[in-house]
Amino acid sequence: MPPALPWTVRLEDDKVVLIDQTALPGQLRFVECRDVECVARAIETMVVRGAPAIGATAAYGLALVAIASSSMDARGLMEDLEAAAARLRRTRPTAVNLFWAVERVMGAARSASGSGDPEEIRRAVVSEAERIAQEDVEANKAIGRHGAELIEDGMTVMTICNAGTLATVWYGTVTAPIYMAWDEGKRFSVIALETRPVLQGARLTAYELHAAGIPVTLIVDGAAAHTIREKGVDLILVGADRILRDGTVYNKIGTYSLALAARAHGVPIFSVAPTSTFDLKSSRSDVRIEERRPEEVTTVRGVRIAPEGIDVYNPAFDMTPPHLLTGIVTEKGILYQPLWLTIARAFNISTTAGH
Phi, psi torsion values for 145, nearest 5 degrees: -65, -40
Q: Which of 78-87, 323-332, 333-342, 345-354 shows the lowest mean pLDDT across its residues?
A: 345-354
Mean pLDDT of 52-60: 97
- Exposed, middle or buried: residue 267 (CB in 10 Å: 0-12, 13-18, 19+)? buried
Per-residue pLDDT tens for 215-252?
A: 999 999 999 999 999 999 999 999 999 999 999 999 99
Spatial CB neighbours of 236, under 8 Å, sequence gap ≥ 6: 157, 158, 159, 258, 259, 262, 267, 268, 269, 270
Peptide bond between residue 338 and the one before it cis (omega within 30 degrees of 0) = yes
Nearest residue to 325 (alpha-carbon basis) of 258, 234, 229: 258
**pLDDT at residue 355 is higher than 60:** no
How far is the C-alpha of 94 from the C-alpha of 202, rounded, in Å?
A: 23
Neighbouring C-beta atoms of residue 350, cutoff 10 Å: 10
What SS3 state is found at 112? Answer: helix
Average pLDDT of the chain is 95
241 catalytic? Reply is: yes
- Tens-place pLDDT, residues 145-154: 999 999 999 9
Residue type at position 192 = A
Mean pLDDT, rounded, for 9-14: 93
In the chain, beta strands by DSSP E: 9-12, 15-19, 30-33, 156-159, 189-193, 216-219, 235-238, 242-244, 249-252, 269-272, 278-279, 299-300, 303-304, 317-320, 327-330, 333-336
pLDDT band at 72 (very low <50, low <70, confident <90, very high): confident
pLDDT(341) > 70: yes
In whole angstroms, give the CA distance from residue 235 to residue 157: 5
Q: Residues with Cβ < 8 Å from 3, sequence gap 6 or more?
A: 164, 165, 170, 171, 172, 175, 179, 208, 211, 212
Please check the confidence at residue 60 and state whether its pLDDT lies above 70: yes
pLDDT of residue 13: 86
Counting every residue, how long is the chain?
A: 355
| Amino acid, single-letter form, for residue 16 | V
- Going by C-alpha positions, the residue among 105, 126, 123, 117 that lies closest to residue 74 is 117
At a CB cut-off of 8 Å and minimum separation 6, what does 256 contact?
318, 319, 320, 324
Name every residue whose Cβ is closer than 8 Å to that of residue 298 and which is 6 or more positions away in sequence: 304, 305, 306, 310, 312
pLDDT of residue 94: 85
Residue 70 vs residue 8, higher pLDDT: 8
Question: Does the pLDDT of residue 163 top 60, yes or no?
Answer: yes
- Contact in structure between 102 and 88 (CB atoms under 8 Å): yes
HSE-CB of 112 using CA atoms within 13 angstroms: 24
Quick check: 3 pLDDT over 80?
no
Q: What residues does 237 pair with on adjacent strands?
A: 159, 270
pLDDT score of 5: 84
Answer yes or no: is pLDDT of 352 > 70.
no
The answer to whether the beta carbons of residues 59 and 100 sit under 8 Å apart is: no
Predicted confidence (pLDDT) per residue in 127-140, tens digit? 999 999 999 999 99
Residue 95 has a pLDDT of 78
Residue 17 pLDDT exceeds 80: yes
145 neighbors 229 (Cβ within 8 angstroms): no
* Active-site choice (35, 73, 117, 241): 241
Report, as an integer, the average pLDDT of 316-341: 98
Domains and CATH numbers, the chain: 9-142 (1.20.120.420), 149-347 (3.40.50.10470)
- Distance CA(254)–CA(221), nearest Å, equals 8
Distance CA 188, CA 185 (A): 10
Strand 9-12, strand 15-19: pairing: antiparallel
Measured CA to CA, the distance from residue 179 to residue 323 in angstroms comes to: 28
Rounded to the nearest 10 degrees, the angle between the axes of helix 74-89 and helix 118-147 is: 40
